[in-house]
Amino acid sequence: MVELSGNLLFAAFVFYLVAILFFGGAIRQKKGLEGSPYQNKPVRSGKIAMTLTILGFISQLGYFITRWIAAGHAPVSNMFEFITFFSIMMVGAFIIIYSIYRSTVLGLFTLPIVLIIIAYGSMFTKDVTPLIPALQSYWLPIHVMTTAAGQAILSISFIAGLIYLIKTIDASAPPKKQFFLEMILYCINAVIGFIMIKLVFSIMNYQAVFEWVDKEGNTSTLKYTLPAILGPNEWNLLTAGRMEPILEMPAILEAQKFNTVIWSFIAGTVLYILIRLITRKKAARLFHPFVKKINADFLDEISYRSVLIGFPVFTLGGLVFAMIWAQIAWTRFWAWDPKEVWALITWLFYAAFLHLRLSKGWHGEKSAWLAVIGFGIIMFNLVFVNLIIAGLHAYV
């Protein structure tokens, strides 16, 4: 069952990959695209792309259901499962937004991001984990699934915002803006870099065991699966023939995680520089041909609409359901735990976004930048708060 579930996920990956090609084709063929409602009928390759996307979505749902049956609980309880579920919701959100606006450009940008997210999730252990007592509740699926859905819909606003920025920030824009746009694309490169490095070293079966001294002064061992640039506190390399760390981390920081981050940035930087050298263009300019025809106001509206739909869903899942469950499991609905605080921060951020838009008229470019920052906060909550801050925190 677990194997079947894994295969379905892989099938979805392939469906999405092929769908991207057809979305690309749809944009080439279409003339007078996204203009008046009478011309806004998708061409054939757009329809094929959408069919493939829906097939991929169904296949991913299949993954989810089979894994649920196999595990005996909703598969949203570890990093791999949560990130994968998030990717399903992102496709779902895209399908909903597509049904309203019929924008194939949106698909062309959403699916690659979804692929990166699926691949990123697959870097974590795929073992089916049993649930600790705090997680044994029907509120686990209710809360996590609603929150992920909300975050996924909000993420669509990032995608539309990103397309907006790629479209409107051209070579004549202030260098600062061009720089920040490149920054976004560079960050995406770093994630791809992380995935590639992880894959390469796991194929090589790289392992280096260290003995180290933790903050309480106890000695224990630690297994690295990437060469150690950053070694743990008072490290002592036990595996022969492995790279020796260049720097030593203090005991309170988790050396292994920082090491992974460093590797991701190195790989991302190499990747980015290669792209720039080979194409001799800013990364954003590479995508420019795909977004030329789409109307900027149209993108702005997709972005805003996604926030409008995503905000209530996120509030329901990330705050309301979260509080109900915390009251049952942890005796109080709010404990100022970092994960909770970051949900609050996300919520406050989008509240500010809505007010700035409604009252201060922050439309178009400003709104697009805000959508990007919002996605940054969601990703920060997903990745850093789970992996790094919670690591410092005595989690129940």
Interface residues toward ligand HEM, by CB under 6 A: 348, 351, 354-355, 358-359
Q: Which is nearer to another protein, 274 or 392 (CB)?
A: 392
Q: Which is nearer to ligand HEM, 258 or 347 (CB)?
A: 347
Q: Are strands 247-248 and 230-231 parallel, antiparallel or unpaired?
A: parallel
- Cβ neighbours, 10 Å, residue 355: 11
Q: How far is the CB of 342 from ligand HEM (least distance, A)?
A: 15
Considering only residues 191 through 220, tell me which ones interact with another protein, judged by CB under 8 A.
215
Q: How far is the CB of 351 from another protein (least distance, A)?
A: 6
Q: How far is the CB of 334 from another protein (least distance, A)?
A: 9
Considering only residues 45 through 104, tell me which ones interact with another protein, judged by CB under 8 A.
70-72
Q: Which is nearer to another protein, 182 or 340 (CB)?
A: 340
393 binds another protein (CB under 8 A): yes
Q: How far is the CB of 370 from ligand HEM (least distance, A)?
A: 13
Q: How far is the CB of 292 from ligand HEM (least distance, A)?
A: 30
387 binds another protein (CB under 8 A): no
Secondary structure, 3-state, the chain: CHHHHHHHHHHHHHHHHHHHHHHHHHHHHCCCCCCCCCCCCCCHHHHHHHHHHHHHHHHHHHHHHHHHHHHCCCCCCCHHHHHHHHHHHHHHHHHHHHHHHCCHHHHHHHHHHHHHHHHHHCCCCCCCCCCCHHHCCCHHHHHHHHHHHHHHHHHHHHHHHHHHHHHHCCCCCCHHHHHHHHHHHHHHHHHHHHHHHHHHHHHCCCCEEEEEECCCCCEEEEEECCCCCEECCCCEECCCCCCCCCEECCCCCCHHHHHHHHHHHHHHHHHHHHHHHHHCCCHHHHHHHHHCCCCHHHHHHHHHHHHHHHHHHHHHHHHHHHHHHHHHHCCCCCCCCHHHHHHHHHHHHHHHHHHHHHHHCCCHHHHHHHHHHHHHHHHHHHHHHHHHHHHHCCCC
Q: Which does 36 bind (CB under 5 to 8 A by kind): ligand HEM, another protein, none?
A: another protein
Q: Which is nearer to ligand HEM, 45 or 315 (CB)?
A: 315
Q: How far is the CB of 351 from ligand HEM (least distance, A)?
A: 4
Q: Which is nearer to another protein, 129 or 269 (CB)?
A: 129
Considering only residues 29 through 48, tell me which ones interact with another protein, judged by CB under 8 A.
36-38
- What gap in Å lies between CA 28 and CA 205, rounded to an integer? 43
**φ and ψ at 224, to 5 degrees?**
-95, 140
Q: Which does 136 bind (CB under 5 to 8 A by kind): another protein, ligand HEM, none?
A: another protein
Q: How far is the CB of 164 from another protein (least distance, A)?
A: 12
Q: How far is the CB of 69 from another protein (least distance, A)?
A: 10
Q: Which does 266 bind (CB under 5 to 8 A by kind): another protein, ligand HEM, none?
A: none
Considering only residues 304 through 323, tell me which ones interact with another protein, judged by CB under 8 A.
304-305, 308-309, 311-312, 315-316, 319-320, 323
274 binds another protein (CB under 8 A): no
Residues with Cβ within 8 Å of residue 66, at least 6 apart in sequence: 1, 2, 4, 5, 8
Q: Which residues pair with 244 in a beta bridge?
A: none
**Only segment of 56-64, 126-134, 174-182, 234-242 that touches another protein (CB under 8 A):** 126-134
133 binds another protein (CB under 8 A): yes
Binding-site member from 14, 183, 209, 351 for another protein (CB under 8 A):
351
Output the six-digit token pair for 57.
Answer: 């979505």
Q: Which does 297 bind (CB under 5 to 8 A by kind): ligand HEM, another protein, none?
A: another protein
- What gap in Å lies between CA 264 and CA 257, rounded to an integer? 11
Interface residue list for another protein (CB under 8 A) = 2, 36-38, 70-72, 125, 127-130, 132-134, 136-137, 139, 215, 252, 295-298, 300-301, 304-305, 308-309, 311-312, 315-316, 319-320, 323, 327-333, 335-338, 341-342, 344-345, 348-349, 351-352, 355-356, 358-360, 385, 389, 392-394
